[in-house]
Amino acid sequence: MSHASTPLKHVKDDHDDLVFLDEQAVTGAASTDWAVWRVMIVDDDEDVHATTTFALGNLDMQGRPLEFVHAYSAAQAREMLRHESDIAVILLDVVMEHDDAGLHLVRHIRETLKLSDVRIILRTGQPGYAPEIDAIRDFDINDYKTKSELTRIKLYTTVTAAIRSYQQIRALNCNRRGLDQIVRASTELMALHGVKNFASGVLTQVADILDGKADGVLCAPEPQGGRARQLPVIACAGSFYRLNDGVLASLDDPRAFDAISRTLVQRASIFERDSATLYFGGKSGRDFAAFVLLDRPLGDIEKRLLDVFCSNVAVGLENVELVSHLHNTAFYDQLSKLPNRTRLVEILDATLHGPGRDTATLSLVDLDHFAETNETLGHQFGDLLLVAVATRLQSRLGRHLTVARIGGDIFSVLGDADAVNPEAILALFQAPFSIDGQDVQLSATLGLVRLAEHDGSGADALKDADIALKRAKMQQRAGHFYFSRSMGVEIRERVRMMHALRTGFAKGELFVVYQPQIDLNTRQPVGAEALLRWQVSDGSFISPVRFIPIAEYSGLIIEIGDFVLRCACKELVRLRAAGHCALTMSVNVSQVQFRHPFFLAMLRSALEDSGAPPEYIELEITESMAMEEPDQLIQMLAEVKRTGVSIAIDDFGTGFSSLSYLQRLQIDRLKIDRAFVSEITGSARGSSIAEMVIQLGRNLGLSVVAEGVEDERQAQILQALGCPMAQGFLFAQPMSPPALYDWLREHPQVRTA
């Protein structure tokens, strides 16, 4: 570790950037006897110590050279500061032993050691740990820099400014009252919120320091070179305050305008007999200036006090303005200037806890087909259209309502239920919007929630309105829908089930069982259907009727479907190896899975990886699925058939299939839905649909399987009707692979290889 103190060494360096040396020690000559400025470097990175002394070691500041004192941790700095004296500047790393070690050291310096003169400059390589504004206020931090921005020139400028400030403070110790006022003024100013309040406080504190009355104006021009054409006023007092107009938009006093313009150009305060123009220099080029009328000339001590005050307050002014800007960015939409989602949630929370809750309604306003307009006419045109919508909602609905833009093409309206009327809001879109001379007709869909019926937070109310909006869009565009508690329970249960399913699938809770398919004439097995089951950790089962729709909704059915297909293919290979070579394997395919662009690739991969013979694999699709987009499905089925697998239509009879269409599908088998099988013994005409399906299969040359056969009477009727195959609890329940092999040993096949 380097020595705790580094004397000076003259090193020539013409580069502006700080270059971190790899393993190059920076040493210096012996200590000199003349007065020096003592600079403490507190950082756990030795390269930072080396580069800092390398950059500043040959420079004089305010007529004195520098002497460096080194500490490599906050703890070491605490110990050294107990006996080190006359430290002018501390260059302090924020993150050392822990994330805020630097801030804790500042507290120790200011509160325990009572060192108020030393100038503290925070440095960090991790901007995410930047000190909050209350830390600057509470701990009297004098500057903050990221290490990446500290080039040699900027480091010299920063340290020079700090030393100049330290020198002035030490020189003015004789006027303790003035210094106390500056500290108190800085603290009080930091407690003020908003740029205007802070700026007004600056004028008040200047008057207090000078024992006079506040009479002046403070301006914050935009960064620019030369003299400003306009000087926006952010605070004024005394004779500059217009009783009727309040704060002016821009400075119109010729004398004050000229004085502030000169101060901004010279970047220094100007003192005259009856006025002072104070310069507050910002780090990012955002300068401030104040023109103050005086009732007497100022002495040198007072001028220095004001210079120190301006130096301290400049950082505060810039930070408060930055915080105000960040506040606007965080809580207001930059395009429409309306409150954004974050601000709306705050307003909702306040409304839910206020007296207006019982009569308030929140409405989401979703512009229909806005994306198409945006893509067709351009994003700039789309932005203008969004601004026009925002303007119409605000101007037509009234200022007593809260209109917000919560993202994209979705706005919100919050207020009394009578005013947040869906018919009235939708009527606003009857007239076209005129954009750049072009009329654009829009419609909107609304989702509404009555806050009196809502028990959660503002964020929850927004979610409920979004649920209602989705329901409205599903039912009818350009309409509206109110949220109900049952919808919330349904959605939350769906989300809970979705997360549980994803977790359960990853943990291996989902598995495949197999139900034999029987030849009704011989009562011997001819195939098996692969069925998915889910057994949760407590041993209970969740029905596929519940979790399959959730899997489809979430898209997880793609992975689950591939898992089932692969399990079925591998099990078929094992069955054939055990001698059951005549069995076919049926696998259900979800509509979402079947229409996935990579389904064919997944099917081919499962067949190839498992070695399963495709002619013994059958894919089952539902009748409703077969009837959607028929031309596309016909093409897709043709591709599937080319792999060698066969196709069955499951639950046949529940839809409205066209007979001519069935002939074009190239399917191989029809499966009679269990609902029609159960009706066979129920009435005289109970077998009519089953009989029709069997006859249709015979006429089209298709095999037929009856599902859900549970008693012998059903089996006999189906056999009499000519149904060749069936499956159901009468013959066998779905079973695990070991149980299936035991069952097959007791029920040999028609033929074996």
Helix (H) or strand (E) holding 276: strand 275-280
Total number of domains constituting the chain:
4
Backbone dihedral angles phi then psi of residue 170, each to the nearest 5 degrees: -65, -40
Give the domain extent around 437.
341-483
Q: Count CA atoms closer than 13 A to 581's CA, side-chain side.
A: 5
Specify whether 526 is located in the same domain as 658: yes
Under the banding of pLDDT at 50, 70 and 90, the label for residue 553 is confident
Beta bridge partners of 360: 416
Report residue 84 as tokens. 């080190």
With b for 16 or more beta-carbon neighbours within 10 A and e for fewer, the 443-481 pattern comes to: ebbbbbbbbeebeeebebbbbbbbbbbbbbbeeeeeebb
Specify whether 372 is located in the same domain as 243: no
What is the spatial distance between Cα 100 and Cα 108, in angstroms, rounded to a whole number? 13
> With contact defined as beta carbons under 8 Å apart, do 12 and 59 qualify?
no
Residue 594 falls inside a structural domain: yes
Specify whether 291 is located in the same domain as 391: no
Write down the pLDDT at residue 532.
Answer: 97
Dihedral angle computed from the Cα positions of residues 484, 485, 490 and 491, in that order, rounded to the nearest 10 degrees: 80
Specify whether 152 is located in the same domain as 49: yes
Specify whether 166 is located in the same domain as 189: no
Predicted model pTM: 0.48
Beta bridge partners of 38: 67, 87
Of 26 and 678, more confident: 678
Mean local confidence (pLDDT), 521-547: 94
Smallest CA-to-CA distance from 43 within 121, 143, 137, 132 is with 121
What is the spatial distance between Cα 649 and Cα 666, in angstroms, rounded to a whole number? 11
Write down the pLDDT at residue 192.
Answer: 46
Look over the chain and give the mean of its residue pLDDT values, rounded to a whole number.
81
First to last CA, the chain: 82
Smallest CA-to-CA distance from 130 within 142, 140, 119, 144 is with 144
Is the pLDDT reported for residue 462 higher than 50? yes
Domain final residue pick, 171, 195, 218? 171
Specify whether 656 is located in the same domain as 735: yes
Is the pLDDT reported for residue 389 higher than 50? yes
Residue that is written with structure tokens 């259900």 in the block: 588
Would you list the DSSP string of 342-371? HHHHHHHHHHHTSTTGGGEEEEEEEETTHH
Smallest CA-to-CA distance from 468 within 366, 379, 621, 540 is with 366
Of 57 and 181, more confident: 57
The CATH number for 105's domain is 3.40.50.2300
Please say whether the dihedral angle defined by the alpha carbons of residues 220, 224, 225 and 231, taken in this order, is positive or negative: negative
Specify whether 161 is located in the same domain as 300: no
Write down the pLDDT at residue 137.
Answer: 63
Residue 745 falls inside a structural domain: no
Smallest CA-to-CA distance from 251 within 220, 280, 222, 273 is with 220
- Residues in Cβ contact with 642 at an 8 Å cutoff, skipping those fewer than 6 apart: none
Residue 495 falls inside a structural domain: no
Residue that is written with structure tokens 């070991």 in the block: 738
Is the pLDDT reported for residue 30 higher than 50? no
CB atoms within 10 A of CB 619: 23
Under the banding of pLDDT at 50, 70 and 90, the label for residue 226 is very low
Specify whether 225 is located in the same domain as 165: no
What is the spatial distance between Cα 310 and Cα 294, in angstroms, rounded to a whole number? 17
Grouping H, G, I as helix, E, B as strand and the rest as coil, residue 12 is: coil
- Nearest 5°: the CA angle 276, 277, 281 is 140
- Residues in Cβ contact with 207 at an 8 Å cutoff, skipping those fewer than 6 apart: 213, 214, 215, 237, 292
Low-confidence winner among 647-651, 686-690, 729-733 (lowest mean pLDDT): 686-690
Residue 402, class by beta-carbon neighbours within 10 Å (0-12 exposed, 13-18 middle, 19+ buried)? buried
pLDDT 10s digits, 303-332 = 888 887 787 777 666 666 555 555 466 678
> With contact defined as beta carbons under 8 Å apart, do 281 and 223 qualify?
no
Low-confidence winner among 6-15, 277-286, 428-437 (lowest mean pLDDT): 6-15
What letter represents residue 371's amino acid?
Answer: A
Report residue 110 as tokens. 């200011």
Domain final residue pick, 268, 301, 331? 331
Low-confidence winner among 93-97, 194-198, 716-720 (lowest mean pLDDT): 194-198
Is the pLDDT reported for residue 128 higher than 50? yes
Specify whether 90 is located in the same domain as 228: no
| Strands (DSSP E) found in 694-734 | 703-706, 725-726
Specify whether 185 is located in the same domain as 295: yes
Smallest CA-to-CA distance from 65 within 25, 34, 29, 27 is with 34
The CATH number for 321's domain is 3.30.450.40
Grouping H, G, I as helix, E, B as strand and the rest as coil, residue 452 is: helix
Please say whether the dihedral angle defined by the alpha carbons of residues 646, 652, 655 and 659, taken in this order, is positive or negative: positive
Domain final residue pick, 331, 356, 383? 331
Helix (H) or strand (E) holding 609: helix 599-610
Beta bridge partners of 318: none
What letter represents residue 247's amino acid?
Answer: V
Smallest CA-to-CA distance from 42 within 124, 115, 117, 114 is with 124
Mean local confidence (pLDDT), 152-156: 86
pLDDT 10s digits, 418-456 = 889 999 999 999 999 988 888 888 999 999 999 988 878
Low-confidence winner among 121-125, 135-139, 519-523 (lowest mean pLDDT): 135-139
Specify whether 95 is located in the same domain as 183: no
Percentage of the chain with pLDDT > 70?
Answer: 81
Low-confidence winner among 94-98, 137-141, 362-366, 632-636 (lowest mean pLDDT): 137-141
Smallest CA-to-CA distance from 483 within 521, 456, 508 is with 456
Would you list the DSSP string of 117-169? SSEEEEEES-GGGPPPHHHHHHHT--EEEEGGG--HHHHHHHHHHHHHHHHHH
Please say whether the dihedral angle defined by the alpha carbons of residues 426, 431, 436 and 440, taken in this order, is positive or negative: positive
Residue 113 falls inside a structural domain: yes
The CATH number for 650's domain is 3.20.20.450
Mean local confidence (pLDDT), 184-212: 65
Smallest CA-to-CA distance from 424 within 361, 349, 476 is with 361
63 φψ region: left (φ > 0), alpha (ψ -120 to 50), beta (else): left
What letter represents residue 192's amino acid?
Answer: L
Write down the pLDDT at residue 13.
Answer: 40
Report residue 510 as tokens. 């989902």
- Residues in Cβ contact with 120 at an 8 Å cutoff, skipping those fewer than 6 apart: 89, 90, 92, 106, 109, 139, 140, 141, 142, 143
Residue 417 falls inside a structural domain: yes
Residue 461 falls inside a structural domain: yes
pLDDT 10s digits, 679-689 = 888 765 557 78
Specify whether 272 is located in the same domain as 200: yes
Residue 556 falls inside a structural domain: no
CB atoms within 10 A of CB 368: 16
Residue 493 falls inside a structural domain: no
